[in-house]
Amino acid sequence: MVSNVLLYLLIPAAATLFGGVAAVFWAPGAQLRSVLQHLAAGVVFAAVAGELLPQIMHEGTALPVILGFSAGIALMLGIKWLAERGKMSSFGARGGLIAIIGIDIAIDGLLVGVSFSAGTKAGLLVTFALSLEVLFLALSTAATQLSDGASRLRVVATALSFSIVLVAAAAAGTVSLNSLSPPMIEGVLSFGVAALLYLVTEELLVEAHEVPETPLITATFFIGFLVIILIEMAI
């Protein structure tokens, strides 16, 4: 199980590194970033609604779900507070707040590990969804670093460190979940659902709406959602 998860982790890890390297040679415009954010939001939302949430509702008990969900929201709000305290969004990259982005990446990795406790299909869907999210995050971070005068080597090194953090967090989450009782796993899954929903509603879509909307841009959210539904139907 753990070895299989680590193999799947190569996908978001490679996406993170690719995003950082790609930004060194090409930075996407605001419209394209909005498209990617809408697409990633639709994919993440569908993965939560189609895989993680039904398992919690059908198999979970109230107390672990409440505690896990509350912990997820509390942590994400805490990260937002730290980011705003630094006069930036949690998708920015200035100064010492690279550490805040590292926390975001670590949570993404943890969520990948958590999702596999709900089954291989759920794990694969969440891995795919978060791969899109970390790809954008790496692109955005690298572009901001370059605009601040960072060297290309530093940008690539940052992306590489993010990849390592993601893999380490996911591996730690996967290993620890193997020793948890069912109620604790329900709590961890609820934590993951809350964090992913926050990611969609308060990060991806908020950032995406900073540019003028077009019907095509809006439609990409539903395209991402539909893609995950079709993948679920096929596997």
| pLDDT at residue number 116 | 77
Q: Compute the average pLDDT of residues 43-49.
A: 83
> Does the pLDDT of residue 67 top 90, yes or no?
yes
Tell me the pLDDT band of 223, cut-offs 50, 70 and 90.
very high
Tell me the pLDDT band of 219, cut-offs 50, 70 and 90.
very high
Tell me the pLDDT band of 88, cut-offs 50, 70 and 90.
very low
Q: Where are the domains of the chain?
A: 2-23+30-234
Quick one: which of 3, 5, 232 has its CA closest to 113?
5
Q: How many Cβ atoms from other residues are within 10 Å of residue 73's Cβ?
A: 15
What average pLDDT is seen over the chain? 80
Q: % helix / strand / coil in the chain, to the nearest 5? A: 85, 0, 15
- Cα separation, 142 vs 38, in Å, equals 20
